[in-house]
């Protein structure tokens, strides 16, 4: 609990956990290097906040916030994450995990122990583009995480960042097909890349995806954020 694993705390959000008020813990470090990553300082930097300080902050939020979002970076790569989540759960908060899906073993432990209430799982790409976009070979781990969530009882969502130079409409339709084939019944959230952002890799501007360009009759439904 002494290591400083957290880069920052967003003290209040109504946007990150569906229908709940929450704060966000931004864990430093990541095992991917997505070209479009908006958080280079979190991914490449070191944590500066000890968890004891997080506990002190959360004590002042009991009864005021519904939930704590564990984000990053990739929060599940940290050795202390189970302990952290256990403490936050014991304090009475709902727990949401934002993950790139690369740590199915940790996810399984959390699910088995009923320590999480909601997961946002990044679907970076299918195998043909996964390595190019994430600079990692972790697609099979993503698949294992997806399987775990499908067979769990907790609520989760699948989300993708869209950049027109990295992903075509056909790629998105293939991803939609993959989700449908694998029995995903939720929404497929697609977030347009925000031009002008500082990212891990310099990227040209992206052309915004238009919902009418996708086959909206297909399932799961694509929701553009």
In the complex, the residues that contact ligand SF4 under the rule CB under 6 A are 30, 32-34, 37, 39, 43, 72-74, 100
* Residue 139 Cβ vs ligand SF4, minimum distance, rounded to whole Å: 13
Residue with tokens 């002494």: 2
Nearer to ligand SF4, 37 or 167 (CB): 37
Q: For the purposes of burial, counting CB atoms within 10 Å of the CB of 129, is it exposed (0-12), middle (13-18) or buried (19 or more)?
A: middle
* Residue 211 Cβ vs ligand SF4, minimum distance, rounded to whole Å: 23
Nearer to ligand SF4, 24 or 43 (CB): 43
Residue with tokens 């600079």: 135
Query: Can you count the helices (H) and strands (E) in the chain?
Result: 7, 9
Nearer to ligand SF4, 4 or 159 (CB): 159
Cα–Cα nearest to 123, from 223, 78, 190, 216: 190
* Residue 75 Cβ vs ligand SF4, minimum distance, rounded to whole Å: 10
Residues 6+ apart with CB under 8 A from 179: 123, 158, 188, 220
Cα–Cα nearest to 224, from 160, 179, 170, 138: 160
* Residue 53 Cβ vs ligand SF4, minimum distance, rounded to whole Å: 22
Cβ count near 179 (within 10 Å): 20
Report the SS3 class of residue 162.
strand
Q: For the purposes of burial, counting CB atoms within 10 Å of the CB of 51, is it exposed (0-12), middle (13-18) or buried (19 or more)?
A: buried
* Residue 39 Cβ vs ligand SF4, minimum distance, rounded to whole Å: 5
* Residue 122 Cβ vs ligand SF4, minimum distance, rounded to whole Å: 6
Report the SS3 class of residue 133.
helix
């Amino acid at each position: 609990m002494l290591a400083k694993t957290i880069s920052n705390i967003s003290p209040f959000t109504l946007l990150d956990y569906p229908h709940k008020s929450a704060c966000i813990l931004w864990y430093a470090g990541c095992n991917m290097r997505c070209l479009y990553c908006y958080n280079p300082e979190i991914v490449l930097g070191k944590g500066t906040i000890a968890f004891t300080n997080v506990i002190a902050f959360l004590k002042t939020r009991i009864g005021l916030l519904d939930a704590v979002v564990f984000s990053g970076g990739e929060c599940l790569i940290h050795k202390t994450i189970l302990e952290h989540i256990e403490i936050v759960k014991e304090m009475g908060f709902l727990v949401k995990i934002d993950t790139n899906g690369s740590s199915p073993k940790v996810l399984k432990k959390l699910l088995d122990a009923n320590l999480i209430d909601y997961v946002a799982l990044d679907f970076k790409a299918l195998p043909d583009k996964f390595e190019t976009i994430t600079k990692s070979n972790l697609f099979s781990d993503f698949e294992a995480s997806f399987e775990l969530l499908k067979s769990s009882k907790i609520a989760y969502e699948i989300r993708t960042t869209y950049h027109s130079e990295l992903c075509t409409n056909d790629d998105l339709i293939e991803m939609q097909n993959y989700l449908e084939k694998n029995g995903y019944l939720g929404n497929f959230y697609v977030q347009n890349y925000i031009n002008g952002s500082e990212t891990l890799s310099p990227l040209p501007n992206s052309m915004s995806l238009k919902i009418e360009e996708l086959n909206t009759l297909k399932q799961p439904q694509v929701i553009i954020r």
